[in-house]
Amino acid sequence: MNAASDKLKHARDEFVGQWGALGTQWGINRTMAQIHALLMTSPEPRSTDDVMEELQISRGNAHTNLKELVAWALVRSVVRKGDRREYFEAEKDVWKIFTTVARERKRREIDPALGVLRRCAEESQDIDTPEGRAFYEQMRQLQEFVEFAANMADRVASMKHGFAVQMAARLLG
């Protein structure tokens, strides 16, 4: 390896490690995020064996997390003619990554939470005690807020990147 290769490997390793730590903040495990970071920064699709070797993880761990990344639509499977191995490449468009993660988190976290809030509000709506009315009102307010936040997130995620950036600049400026 030459100095440039060493420097790139060090930078990539640092990014993969940090992205792994960040991944836990957006709802995926560390290894899944590290695989995503590796693929996102790879100029060519990589095989499961490449991922295993680079990250020093087991075949089962690599396979499970690659399939989950494909399910999230953050990674896609690539077939190379004449090669029986499966290769993977990550979505590299940052806006698409953001909107995909936002959509998946909404589906996996926000939608189920909204279901609980709705059920709790419905079940407590007719409780005619001070505690029952207070509980119902709290559930209703939480439901309204989470619905509003989810709708805003959906609107932002459905915007084109440039328009979303312009809107954010106006709000923040």
27-52 pLDDT per residue, tens? 789 999 999 999 999 999 999 999 99
Average pLDDT value for residue range 105-124? 93
Average pLDDT of the chain to the nearest whole number: 90
What is each CA distance from 73 to 4, 23, 133, 145, in whole angstroms?
32, 15, 43, 28
Q: Which two tokens mark 88?
A: 């993977």
pLDDT(16) > 90: yes
Cα–Cα dist 44/33, whole Å? 18
Confidence of residue 121 (pLDDT cuts 50, 70, 90): very high
Mean pLDDT score, 166-170: 70
Q: What percent of the chain has pLDDT over 90?
A: 63
Better pLDDT: 123 or 109:
123
Query: Mean pLDDT, to the nearest integer, of 47-70?
Result: 96
Phi-psi region of 107 (alpha: psi -120 to 50; beta: other; left: phi over 0): alpha
- List Cβ neighbours of 133 (8 Å cut-off, separation of 6 or more): 127
Helix (H) and strand (E) counts in the chain? 8, 3
pLDDT tens-digit profile of 73-112? 999 999 988 888 999 999 999 888 888 888 888 888 899 9
Taking domain 3-90, whether its CATH number is 3.40.50.11540 is answered by no
